[in-house]
Amino acid sequence: MSTKIQVPASFRYLTTFLRIIIGWHFLYEGLVKLLDPNWSSGWYLINAQGYFAGFFHAMASNATVLNIIDILNVWGLILIGLGLMLGIMTRIASISGVVLIGLYYFSNPPFIGYDPGTNVEGHYLFVNKNLVELAALLVFVMLPAKLQFGLDNLFTMVDFSFKSPVKAVPREVNHETLPENKIYRRELVKQMIAIPFLGGFVYAVARNYGWGSHEEAHLSQSMKVNAVSGATAMISRELDLTQLKKKIPSGMLGDHQIGRVICGGNLISGFAHSRDLIYVSTFLKKYFTEQKVMETFRLCEAAGMNTCALRVAPEEINILNRYRKNGGKIQWIAPAYPEEDDYKTNIDLAIDNGAIAVMVMGNVGDQWVREGKLDLLDKTIHHIKSRGVYAGLVGHQLETIRIAEEAGIPTDFYMKTLHHRDYWSYRPEEPKTVPIIDNYAIDNYWAMTPETTIQYMESVNKPWIAFKTLAAGALKPEEGLRYVFENGADFVCLGMFDFQVIEDANIVNDILDQPISRRREWMA
């Protein structure tokens, strides 16, 4: 015996209202992205975390795939939104919405140990807005159309057959029997209840995108809110991976594949050769929050810059470890700061936290060589190698590299400054007699004898990482990068803001895709 459940009349209005506001959300998200030429899903995908992070990163790294995803994302949001708002093909729209929201949920899952970052609006331990909306859509997948108002019901109310709907009625009956498929005017109005909502939506979007007065537009421009929500983040195309031509080429450091550009650590660590701009280092520390560092790393990895050079310090190590825990794969070449009375501790800290190579930092190496402490340098390099990683030496002065080579110190690679002299802050009239590590107060040159460096490094059969290649920001990347690659460097360590990564990768590709006049053989 079946029991018929009476559904209150208000239930249809409540379910319809819930469906409309979810549709409003989808439709607005889609239209905002359609109307903004700077939007791309690349940044959202490249910042994906969790078990499926590699899958989403791979999609973001392929420009063709990313373009297709952007189109499907935008039009999927729009069509799902329209379907839900109007109640047309509601079940199909709901299923599509579940799939789309499910992808958003698992690209940045609110699981224990994962940082929600800037892609989502936080979470409540497994539960976030995406999951709540997904659950609501599952209700509409199962909910019969007759328990809500929408255009779907009009199709079930109309008989599209060619049979006459008129029934024969006995003449003695003094009233007419209405056909079952006849649409009552009041019922028709109810099924079209979403039309005013859609009209209000169109008006609101139009006002937000240019139908307001000039004064209103001017005053509200800085406060205009776009769709940055649990479904998708809207990021400027200056960070868009669709602009990446391809991943940069790589070379080998021992058995490790290294992108020809290594992500430098000075910006991230808050150190900058800022000359008389005393506020720059403070600005860098404010800009490069932990989340921004992670976003920069992910963008670098997508561009083929799969290695970073961060100093060996607790703050940097903690960021690296959290980045790896969230799916990051970036490799670490560690500039270490060994001390004369304890040359092992800083090096061991780097190796114990996953460094693939450790190099004696330039200030230390230059100082030790200048003071004739070659035995100490030799012991330090031997200790690095004894731990099973590659050992390098950094030098601002060419004499640091030359003396280490002549002494037979068994380094695996070198890091040496290189840039030409044609930049605005270089002072040709000033004698270049002050060693670079003593020049920080002047802060206007980092390669005292570039021609001599180029000539000498031709005889060194070890990988060479060039740094200070843009003269601390004084040279354009096109100019500085071409100069160092043409003159023998195997890799470049480059400090970059996140919004410079794609441009720099494309510049490197343009340089290395063409034959270059390079006298030194590639050593990596």
Q: What is the CATH number of the domain that holds 443?
A: 3.20.20.100
Q: Residue 228 domain-assigned?
A: no
**Are 199 and 274 members of one domain?**
no
In this prediction, residues 125-142 reach a mean pLDDT of 90
pLDDT at 266: 78
Q: Residue 175 domain-assigned?
A: no
Q: What percent of the chain has pLDDT over 90?
A: 45
In this prediction, residues 311-338 reach a mean pLDDT of 91
Q: Residue 129 domain-assigned?
A: yes
More confident residue, 122 or 60: 60
- Model confidence at 240, pLDDT cuts 50, 70, 90, reads low
pLDDT at 482: 96
Lowest mean pLDDT among 101-110, 177-186, 195-204, 270-279: 177-186
In this prediction, residues 397-405 reach a mean pLDDT of 95
Bridge partners for 331 per DSSP: 307
In this prediction, residues 21-36 reach a mean pLDDT of 90
Q: Residue 482 domain-assigned?
A: yes
Q: Residue 520 domain-assigned?
A: no
**Are 307 and 218 members of one domain?**
no
Rounded Cα distance, 96 and 62, in Å: 24
Q: Which long-range contacts (CB under 8 A, 24 or more apart) does 194-203 make?
A: 194/16, 194/20, 194/23, 194/85, 194/86, 194/87, 194/149, 194/150, 194/151, 195/86, 197/20, 197/24, 197/85, 198/85, 198/86, 201/24, 201/27, 201/28, 201/85
- Model confidence at 431, pLDDT cuts 50, 70, 90, reads confident
Q: Is the pTM of this model over 0.85?
A: no
Q: Residue 378 domain-assigned?
A: yes
- Structural domain tally of the chain? 2
**Are 391 and 273 members of one domain?**
yes
* Residue 238 reports pLDDT greater than 50: no
Q: Residue 358 domain-assigned?
A: yes
More confident residue, 98 or 196: 98
**Residue range(s) defining the domain that contains residue 89:** 9-163+184-223
Check: CB of residue 288 under 8 Å from CB of residue 267: yes
**Are 457 and 494 members of one domain?**
yes
**Are 189 and 45 members of one domain?**
yes
Lowest mean pLDDT among 33-37, 191-195, 471-475, 479-483: 191-195
pLDDT at 309: 96
**Are 426 and 464 members of one domain?**
yes
**Are 202 and 351 members of one domain?**
no
In this prediction, residues 393-417 reach a mean pLDDT of 95
Supply angle C-alpha 375, 379, 380, rounded to 5: 115
Q: Which long-range contacts (CB under 8 A, 24 or more apart) does 63-71 make?
A: 63/241, 63/242, 63/243, 63/244, 63/245, 63/246, 66/40, 66/41, 66/42, 66/241, 66/242, 67/242, 69/41, 69/45, 70/33, 70/39, 70/40, 70/41, 70/42, 70/242
Check: CB of residue 194 under 8 Å from CB of residue 86: yes
**Are 460 and 323 members of one domain?**
yes
* Residue 225 reports pLDDT greater than 70: no
The number of beta carbons lying within 10 Å of the beta carbon of residue 325 is: 12
**Are 309 and 371 members of one domain?**
yes
* Residue 213 reports pLDDT greater than 50: no
Bridge partners for 40 per DSSP: 235
- Model confidence at 401, pLDDT cuts 50, 70, 90, reads very high
**Are 300 and 337 members of one domain?**
yes
**Are 159 and 264 members of one domain?**
no
Most confident of 46-55, 121-130, 151-160: 46-55
Q: Residue 524 domain-assigned?
A: no
Q: How far is CA 239 from the centre of its chain?
A: 7
* Residue 191 reports pLDDT greater than 70: no
* Residue 241 reports pLDDT greater than 70: yes
**Are 381 and 488 members of one domain?**
yes
Q: CB-based burial of residue 275 (10 Å sphere; 0-12 exposed, 13-18 middle, 19+ buried)? A: middle
Q: Which residue has the tokens 């900058």?
A: 272
Check: CB of residue 39 under 8 Å from CB of residue 30: no
